[in-house]
A and B are shown apart, each in its own frame.
Chain A
Amino acid sequence: MVELIHFGDLHYGDKKEFREEWLLNVIKYINDIRPDAAICTGDVVHKGRLSQYQGIIPYLEKIEVPLMVVPGNHDLKANGIIPFERFIMPRRSKMILEDKDTIIIGLNSAKGDSSEGEIGDEQLEWCAFQFNKILENRVLALHHHVVAVPYSGRKQTTLTDAGEILEFTQLFEIDLVLMGHKHIPHAYQIGNTTYLYCGTASSIKVRAKETASFNHIILDGGNLDVDIVDSSTLERSPLFTKKEGLTRFIRPRKTRIEHLINMRLFNE
């Protein structure tokens, strides 16, 4: 059994929309429950600036459990990859928790000054060799979406080579893919892989009636439990439950579809 906190889209440096008290809540929550690892799926800072990286580091250093961070598109603005790698960690990273039989791989899906995502052949190959190690729980973390989520608008938020990543998850029996980017907590099940999206942990950049939030994950072989945790109240609510490979619960996302049904704009 491995316990993870999945948070992201901190957007530190956005003077109007970043909320320090929520970030401190997230850090407190992590340090209280002591998960096996905390994984941040990018957009740590708002504009990739050196000063923003210098500002966020003291917060990240407060986290007392192993931390993985992958870069998001906002982190790589203004040549942000350089301070990202200098102050935080390499653009692609690996974490092995031997006693938890768990491997977590972080990929860079972002490119400087572009909101589009791509993994590319070189990372795909690297990733394949990392997962050659036989460990029970296999987790992949990246910033962009592999599959579109509702309510994320008309921009192309999926990777240009999403098909390859999807196939990768199936061939390499990845249990869990962690993503951020559009601040929409959501989950899909494709084959035996669960695709998990995180909201924004510490900003008011929310969509619809979401709140700032992060995910609390318990993964145990074929069983998976995910709760959303509200960053301001630290209240938990279920997002996804899977037992022995069978999906039992996915939090419904009503939003646009419900709106269309309720309004009956187009049909009698």
Chain B
Amino acid sequence: MVNLIHISDIHYGDGEYKQEYMENVIKYINSNKDHIDAVVCTGDLTKKGRYYDFEQLSPILKRIEVPTLTVAGNTDVKNSGIIFFEQFFGPRRTKMVIENKDTLIIGIRSCKDDLKKGEIGDEQLAWVIETIQKHPKKNIVLALHHHLVAVPYAGRSWNAVRDAGELLEITQRYGVDLVLMGHKHIPHAWLFGETTLVYCGTSTTDLVRADDPPCFNEITLEDEDIEVHIINSKTLEKEVLLTRKRGVVEFIRPRKGRLDHILQSEVYK
């Protein structure tokens, strides 16, 4: 069994960034560090990719006492931020092997300088496959910033990586158990074949959508069973996002948002 914390969209340097939420996240992780195997951060660490934001955020995230894998988001690579991201948080594509948990976590860069759109590209696709083949593990986790499959409530800009089809095919062919994503601050999950797609809200800001709280995900993965909880960054209250047993979904938190609205409203009657 492997336990992960999935945080995302920190947006350090934004007026909506809240240090108290960050303190709550760090406190939660460190007080449960004995049974958390890794923390995965799916990008947008800073608001604009500025050097000083990375420099100031780095010591704060280093207070996390659990091994952490971080990928860059589209706001991190503004203003040549990929350079400073790599100086403070390591390479743009990265992996973590947790031998005693038979787990491989792969982090890839889906963003390009100053562009909002995401793309993986052939070179990284090849690298992901090579990495999986070099480290055959029971649990395979993939982390990136952009979406692979659209989520409700995310608006009309395309949030999926442009070559999503190829990466989705990798998840199916190579038995990826879990894909972790951020970007639109919408905690959500899809059951995609044998793969579970998990989206994280914003962990440390008030840049939320609808009635979602600032939050992060706590994930337990054991064989084919997956449990994901959303943890509210303000109150540290837990809510179930998804439970999946032996490959069968038992619960997914419904997101009714827009559909509920248009069903109830009189707009089109």
Do A and B interact? yes
Closest CB in chain B relative to A153 CB, distance in Å: 9
User: Is B240 among interface residues, defined by CB-CB distance under 8 A?
Assistant: no
User: Is B129 among interface residues, defined by CB-CB distance under 8 A?
Assistant: yes
Chain B residues within an 8 Å CB radius of A170: 252
Chain A residues within an 8 Å CB radius of B28: none
Q: Which of A52-60, A83-91, A105-113, A117-125 contacts B (4 or more CB under 8 A)?
A: A117-125
Q: Which of A13-21, A186-194, A209-217 contacts B (4 or more CB under 8 A)?
A: A186-194
Contacts of B214-252 to chain A: CB distance below 8 A: 247-249, 252
Chain B residues within an 8 Å CB radius of A150: 165-166, 168-169
If the complex has contacts A150-B165, A171-B254, A250-B172, are A265 and B126 also in contact, measured as CB distance less than 8 A?
yes
Q: Are B173 and A252 in contact (CB under 8 A)?
A: yes
If the complex has contacts A256-B166, A257-B169, A260-B125, are A171 and B190 also in contact, measured as CB distance less than 8 A?
no
User: Is A95 among interface residues, defined by CB-CB distance under 8 A?
Assistant: no
Q: Are A168 and B259 in contact (CB under 8 A)?
A: yes
Chain A residues within an 8 Å CB radius of B166: 150-151, 256-257
Contact of A158 among B158, B170, B191 (CB under 8 A): B158
Chain B residues within an 8 Å CB radius of A148: 148-149, 160, 163-165, 168
Q: Give the complex CA separation of A264 and B123 in angstroms.
A: 10
Contacts of B135-180 to chain A: CB distance below 8 A: 148-154, 156-158, 160, 162-166, 168-170, 172-173
Q: Give the complex CA separation of A177 and B130 in angstroms.
A: 33
Enumerate chain B interface residues (CB-CB to A < 8 A): 119, 122-123, 125-127, 129-130, 148-154, 156-158, 160, 162-166, 168-170, 172-173, 190-193, 247-249, 252, 254-256, 258-259, 262-263, 267-268
Enumerate chain A interface residues (CB-CB to B < 8 A): 118, 121-122, 124-126, 128, 146-152, 154, 156, 158-164, 166-168, 170-171, 188-191, 245-247, 250, 252-253, 256-257, 260-261, 264-267
14 more contacts with CB within 8 A, not counting A164-B258, A256-B125, are A128-B262, A148-B168, A154-B119, A156-B162, A158-B158, A160-B156, A162-B150, A163-B153, A166-B190, A171-B259, A260-B126, A260-B129, A266-B123, A267-B127
